[in-house]
Structure 1
Amino acid sequence: MASIGEQIVKLYVGKLPYRTTDQDLNDLFGQYGQVLSATIIMDRETGRSKGFGFVEMSNDEEAQSAMSQLNNSSLEGRTIIVNEAQEKRDNRGGGGGGYPRRDSGGGGGYRDRRY
């Protein structure tokens, strides 16, 4: 029985075989309920899987069922981890806006040039 205001549950899925696809994840979790999205996280530089992904399910009961059945289960010889995804933390601790820090010694830096 669905209640008003049920929210989407996002699950983290780790230690996946590197050849697992979004569709494989969708099919696996679809056995336990409605999958709204299934995404494998890819490395930007290589285009290869990072070995983890996220699944969004339509309600908590189905997500809990998938978690309890799939956590520490075997997928293509690998023991996968399934748990509720944590909110992404903002790790930008006031640094240099993503630019590498220049040490003051050694010369060669843009501040050492005479314009």
Structure 2
Amino acid sequence: MHRSEGRSVRLYVGNLPFSTTDEDLRQLFETHGELVSANVVRDRDTGRSRGFGFVEFSSDDAAQAAMSALDGTDMGGRALTVNEARERRSGFGGGGGGGGYGGGRGGDRGGDRPSRY
């Protein structure tokens, strides 16, 4: 985690108990340094926790301390996974350009059959 000064550092926190709230996450991590944010990721349809979240520290030292102290820690019977969050890249998930389903085929197949509709 080599970051320039003044940049926040984002950590991924995995294997969270599904009952974990943003405030629970904040309380667990804030003892290691100044937090910018703490968020449990939720399903957009149901609002239920997806079992992971992100915390953002104002310094690299605080993020390192939190990772060292909390990775593998038991929370609600689950061993937490704490590591540096990967940056989202544009085009994440790939596919694009039609997704490969048919690619322009599937229209009129010729012949004199009447339309079904």
Letter in 2 for 1:21: T
In 2, Cα distance between equivalents of 1:76 and 1:57? 23
- Alignment-derived partner of residue 36 in structure 1: 36
- Alignment-derived partner of residue 5 in structure 2: 5
The alpha-carbon deviation at position 41 of structure 1 amounts to 0.4
- State the SS of the aligned residue for 1:67: helix
The alpha-carbon deviation at position 95 of structure 1 amounts to 4.0
Instruction: Kindly report which structure 2 residues correspond to 1:1-115, keeping only aligned pairs within 5 A, or say none.
Output: 5-89=5-89, 90-96=92-98, 101=101, 104=106
The alpha-carbon deviation at position 6 of structure 1 amounts to 2.9
CA displacement, residues 6-31 of structure 1 (integer Å, 9 cap, x when unaligned): 31000000000000000010111001
In 1, Cα distance between equivalents of 2:17 and 2:79? 9
In 2, Cα distance between equivalents of 1:33 and 1:27? 11
Q: Which has the larger radius of gyration?
A: 2
Letter in 2 for 1:94: G
Q: Which runs of 5+ in 2 are unaligned?
A: 107-114
In 1, Cα distance between equivalents of 2:23 and 2:68? 21
In 2, Cα distance between equivalents of 1:57 and 1:34? 6
In 2, Cα distance between equivalents of 1:28 and 1:96? 44
Q: Normalised by the size of structure 1, how large is the TM-score?
A: 0.78
- State the SS of the aligned residue for 1:46: coil
Q: Which runs of 5+ in 1 are unaligned?
A: 105-112
How large is the Cα RMSD of the aligned pairs? 2.6
In 2, Cα distance between equivalents of 1:67 and 1:51? 18
- State the SS of the aligned residue for 2:32: coil
- State the SS of the aligned residue for 1:69: helix
In 2, Cα distance between equivalents of 1:64 and 1:6? 15
- Alignment-derived partner of residue 108 in structure 1: none
